[in-house]
Amino acid sequence: MLARYHLIPRLAASSAKKAPLPSGSVVAAIGVGSKAYFHSSPRRQELSAEHKEIVKSTAPVLAQHGVAITSHFYKRMLDNHPELKNIFNVANQATGAQPAALAHAVWAYAVNIDNLGALGPAVSRISNKHASLGVTADQYPIVGENLLASIKEVLGDAVNQPVLDAWKAAYQQLSDIFTGIEADLYKQAEQTPGGWTGWRKFKVAHKVHESDEIISFYLEPMDGAQLPEFKPGQYISVRVFMPELGVYQPRQYSLSDIPDGKHFRISVKKESAIRDKPAGKISNFLHQDIPENTEIDVSNPYGDFTLDVDSDVPVVLISGGVGITPMMSMLGTVISHDKTRKVVFVHAVRNGKVHAMKDYLSHVMEDNPQVSRAIFYEETTDSDRKGVDFDYTGRIDFTNIKDKVLLPEANYYLCGPGPFMKAQQKSLEALGVPSERIHSEVFGAGDA
């Protein structure tokens, strides 16, 4: 599963839980999710009331001209600092997805400047993505300088010095928040047995075809040393050099197995070209051009979309397509920790040819009566067997499986394409599931 956030991506509310904040810290103004780590250095001076009013007043302009500003920003920054092309997703630059996401981010920050707590869960997720990419504190001034210059160069005389001064102060505030949280994430990684910061050399020990579209990569560290424990639902960044682009390109993939201290497993969907959407450069490169025993760069595990392993309440895992990957890790963790904890595995996929890991799920259910499933095939082939490969045709419809999924005090975990998750969240809430019990993993540049 891919999850892509880059410097100041989309700031949007999520269902992550809030945690008490350290007093006087750089993040004391923003309610970051409980699974983030906090930086306790003294906070810079808060924005003045005048600066806040100016920033808020620019929101309509940003809504109208945001994409023009951010498109100019990325070109300007990457021309001036080509080394940053090794961090940013070149494909998302080409399609315009990343500029659109950043435009939304800047607008959201302006709108919520008086209520930064509303951005807390998203900041937690973004900080984890930054840490997985190895973003450093000295890169934030580069972003700020080019963003402010782009605002002036695109809007011209419509931007005066007080506006630039207000946005400079606002950007510094946001930069302090991110760098503080990310510093603690790096510290946490270094202090975890087997953990590290930056990139570590791995080899592709095995490649296993899970379906017509998905291959699992079993990754082992070249140094043979211990790997850290990770939480089910977390991901790693994988970085490969792309000769045709002349740069390294990183992507995030969910860990699809349980930790054993010896290997990581990711399960990658080969993204084919569909209408105006180009084929995925990295997924195709991994599938076609990375044989077994190839060396690749890998980050420490990060991410705050994680299963609460200490709870004993029922778990409902809901996925679409390649969104199944973190659910495999969650499922494996639950059955290895608690043989009595009820699990409902709900999965939607086009048909049996692209249904990954179905044999594993069948074996799990044979040995674990507390696990049940509801598999939806949008269409079926002659070889697809109802009751064996799948249970329902069409798209997920919770009204038809209410008895299976509406469980007292259950926690619901969603992963899949953005429209899929929005639809499932809406359906669950319509059936009375409290929003705080619905957790989701966001992936795709449009959500970054």
Output the CA–CA distances (angstroms, integers) from residue 147 to 118, 164, 265, 433, 446, in the order listed.
23, 10, 38, 41, 20
DSSP assignment letter at 33:
B
**Three-state DSSP class for 413?**
strand
| 350, part of any domain | yes
Decide if 17 is inside a domain. Answer: no
- DSSP letter at 313 equals S
**Of 5, 37, 74, 182, which residue is the catalytic one?**
182
The verdict on whether 377 is a catalytic residue reads no
Residue 354 CA, chain-centre distance (Å), reads 23
Catalytic one of 5, 140, 171, 377: 140
| 34 within domain boundaries | no
Residue with tokens 């010896």: 262
Check which CATH number belongs to the domain holding 223 and give it.
2.40.30.10
The first and second tokens of residue 308, run together, are: 């609460």
Transcribe 53-113 into DSSP letters. HHHHHTHHHHHHHHHHHHHHHHHHHHHH-GGGGGTS-HHHHHHTHHHHHHHHHHHHHHHTT
Question: How many beta carbons lie within 10 A of that of residue 86, not counting itself?
Answer: 17
Number of domains making up the chain: 3
55 and 125 in a single domain? The answer is yes
Asked if residue 433 and residue 364 are part of one domain, the reply reads yes
CA pseudo-torsion sign 81, 83, 87, 91: positive
Same domain, 182 and 216: no
323 and 399 in a single domain? The answer is yes
CATH of the domain at 370: 3.40.50.80
Domain boundary residue among 170, 191, 212? 191
Q: Output the pLDDT for position 22.
A: 32
One domain, residues 319 and 379: yes
Residue 328 lies in a domain: yes
Are 244 and 290 contained in the same domain? yes
Q: With respect to residue 304, please indicate whether it lies within any of the assigned structural domains.
A: no
Task: Give the model's pLDDT for residue 11.
Answer: 43
> Does residue 145 share a domain with residue 212?
no
Please give the Cα distance from 62 to 397 (Å, whole number): 38
Say whether both 291 and 320 belong to one domain: no
* 103: in domain: yes
DSSP label at residue 2:
B
pLDDT at 44: 57
In a domain, 88, yes or no: yes
What pLDDT is stored for residue 231 in this prediction?
Answer: 97
Q: Which of 240, 263, 298 is the last residue of a domain?
A: 298
Structure tokens at 238: 């994988």
Q: Is 295 a catalytic site residue?
A: no
| Residue among 8, 16, 13 nearest 233 (CA) | 16
- Containing 21, the helix (H) or strand (E) segment is none
> Are 440 and 407 found together in one domain?
yes
CATH number of the CATH domain containing 57: 1.10.490.10
DSSP string for residues in 187-250? HHHHHSTT--SS-EEEEEEEEEE-SSSEEEEEEEETT--------TT-EEEEEEEETTTTEEEE
Specify if 252 maps to a domain: yes
Residue 377 lies in domain: 315-447
Is 215 found in the same domain as 160?
no
Give the amino acid at 393.
T
Among 140, 157, 191, where does a domain finish? 191
pLDDT tens for each residue of the chain, 448 residues long = 433 333 433 343 333 333 333 333 334 444 443 333 333 344 556 789 999 999 999 999 999 999 999 999 999 999 999 999 999 888 777 777 788 888 888 888 899 999 888 888 888 988 999 999 999 999 999 999 999 999 999 999 989 999 999 999 999 999 999 999 999 999 999 999 999 999 999 999 999 999 999 999 999 999 999 999 999 999 999 999 999 889 999 999 999 999 999 999 999 999 988 877 788 889 999 999 999 999 999 999 999 999 999 999 999 999 999 999 999 999 999 999 999 999 999 999 999 999 999 999 999 999 999 999 999 999 999 999 999 999 999 999 999 999 999 999 999 999 999 899 999 999 999 999 999 999 998 765 433 3
Instruction: Let me know whether 271 and 390 are in one domain.
Output: no
Task: Give bridge partners of residue 203 from the DSSP assignment.
Answer: 220, 295
- d(CA 84, CA 77) in angstroms, rounded, equals 8
Separation CA 355–CA 346 (nearest Å)? 13
- Residue 46, number of CB atoms within 10 A of its CB: 12
Same domain, 207 and 163: no
CA distances from 130 to 51, 136, 239, 261 (A): 27, 8, 14, 24
